[in-house]
Amino acid sequence: MGLVTETDENRDAVLAAHADHRAIAALTQHLPGAIQNAKYDRGELTLTIARESIIAACKTVQAAGYNFLVDVSGVDWYPNQPRFQISYHILSHSLKQRIRLAVRVGEGDPSVDSITGVWPAANFYEREVFDLFGVRFGGHPNMRRILLPEDFQGNPLRKDFPVEGYR
Amino acid sequence: MGNLLTAPIAVDSSEDRTMILNMGPQHPSTHGVLRLVLEIDGEVVVRVAPDIGFLHTGIEKTCEAKFYQQVVPLTDRIDYISPMHNNLCYCLAVEKLLQLEIPERAQWLRVMMSELTRLNSHLVWLGTHAMDIGALTVFLYCFREREQILRLFDDLAGQRMMTSYFRIGGVSLEPPLDFFGRLRAFLKTLPEKIDEYENLLTGNRIFINRTKGVGLLSREDAISLGVTGPPLRASGVDWDLRRDMPYSGYEKFQFKVPVSTDCDVWARYVLRVQEMRESIKIATQALDGLPEGPIKADAPKIVLPDREAMKTQMEALIHHFKIVTEGFAVPAGEVYQAIESSRGEMGYYVVSDGTAKPYRVHMRNPTFATLQAIEKMCVGRLIADVVAAIGSIDIVLGEIDR
């Protein structure tokens, strides 16, 4: 289930098959080793980036022409580990192309660097992920809940949070 | 970025010159329940901190507990001004996961209704935006035409606002017999009505003074803050998903994408009015060229059978029973599908784990990101300009809070 089952051969095959893809070319050139996983499915490219390299990866794809951050969101793969996936959807106006960068974050230290320095647009989205999943974004200028009240207990989009009834 | 969107504005501000003003959540011009905390120096805005979440109902969480087809009515309720855009975006995302081909007639109907929804949404925007700025008459005129659109929706889907007309695999119903005639008559009269609104606003000195040069947002800021749709095009970025990354057969339609480099509230007004005229053209093209054929994909395990077939054929009855009671499994994977809604890029990120319920549904709604630009638009301007700026991003709190 999910991305965890994919192997290194899988990644290398996808990277080789799409070697002329602008994002893959830029990332393999400037950040070798940062791509942990690659998936090309239903016409969409997903690159799983090492957690500590996300800011560098964002800067690299931004320089490669992917100028617009569309969305940041989370997925909880509970009980798989690493538990959380943070998905960054990035669009290129000039190439008319989208890519998805993903970062896997473990349950013990659910945190990742904030990319608000690269795209200020990430501000609200990272707050939303923090609010609903409890993943912290290091270096975010205002890491507070955004949708739920300040005194709310828990993170509703985690899979161990019930849809209805009491916790 | 400086101190933008940073820490909350403290009431005991060390700067004695400024004071804190609470705007909303019940302020009539905040279009819903938006709270803005303004730090003001006299009447000049120093900082703006949006406070959202008053309408949060946890729709994303609810989706995870529903079958795929049961999510469609939830999507209506996110952006209640343009429900069919939400329907469309969700259906396209699930169809992409299923790799399902949609019949051409259904695609054209979807385009037709999307453009009608855009007209509906822009009419509400124009009426309320003008009313915020003090032009009350326009509101009554716009709602007169909007009523006609809602009646068309009512005839089409049985609901005025929460239509749920688009379903996974096509559209729910064949339009009634006189529908296309009435739609054509409506589209024919609409350009004159838009002239009427423009007569009231475009040459109106008060309206011009309230909007020109107000709410400036540079091209760079618009891109870095994730602004999409008319505010992005008003800042000089020539980008429209309908033309640049077409979906649902938009590549077959001819239309212009209005762009402006004025970057202000006025430019957003002009663009949206032009967009309404283009929407009329697209809807008319869809009416003229509407192909014959089925309105639902030929996928008996996903699309509910006809009522007639269900009552006469054993297999159809079984499929109907299974879809309703067990849903249908969607192959594992993740997709992001975006469409150009009335407010900008609406995206649905749907993750499937191979079961009949979505593992995760995330809605990327345009005004959630656009709201981040409100501080750039308002700082250094008067409080009254905040009202104009909010109106110009066409804010809908239902889609921001979800």
A126 in a structural domain: no
A139 in a structural domain: no
Examine the pLDDT at B92 and tell me if it is beyond 50.
yes
Q: Quick: pLDDT tens for B16-51.
A: 678 888 887 877 666 778 888 888 888 888 888 888
Q: Tally the domains of chain A.
A: 1
Instruction: Assess B376–A contact: CB distance below 8 Å, yes or no.
Output: no
A118 in a structural domain: no
Residues B317, B310 contacting (CB under 8 angstroms): yes
A158 in a structural domain: no
A119 in a structural domain: no
Residues B330, B356 contacting (CB under 8 angstroms): yes
Examine the pLDDT at B399 and tell me if it is beyond 50.
yes
A30 in a structural domain: yes
What is residue A8's predicted lDDT score, i.e. its pLDDT? 65
What is the mean pLDDT of each successive set of 10 residues along chain A, which is 167 residues long? 55 80 84 84 88 90 91 90 91 91 89 91 92 90 88 88 77
Q: Which of A46, A145, A147 sits opposite B401 (nearest CB)?
A: A147
High-pLDDT (> 90) share of chain B, %: 49
Backbone angles phi, psi at B193, to 5 degrees: -65, -40
A122 in a structural domain: no
What is residue B1's predicted lDDT score, i.e. its pLDDT? 36
Tell the residue number behind the tokens 């942990």, with chain if given.
A36
Q: Mention every residue, 6+ apart, whose C-beta is less than 8 A from residue B338.
A: A70, A98, B89, B241, B245, B247, B345, B346, B347, B348, B364
Structural domains in chain B, CATH included, are: 70-298+331-348+362-401 (1.10.645.10)
A82 in a structural domain: yes
* Chain A contacts in chain B segment 88-117 (CB below 8 A): 96-97, 99
User: Which residues does chain A have within 8 Å of residue B338's beta carbon, measured at their own beta carbons?
Assistant: 70, 98
Q: Residue A12's domain is classified under what CATH number?
A: 3.30.460.80
Instruction: Assess B78–A contact: CB distance below 8 Å, yes or no.
Output: no
Cα–Cα distance between B252 and A157 in angstroms, integer?
40
Instruction: Assess A1–B contact: CB distance below 8 Å, yes or no.
Output: yes
Cα–Cα distance between A102 and A49 in angstroms, integer?
6
Structural domain of A97: 8-112
- Comparison of pLDDT for B19 and B182, the residue scoring more: B182
Retrieve residue B340's tokens: 């150009």
* Chain A contacts in chain B segment 194-223 (CB below 8 A): 223
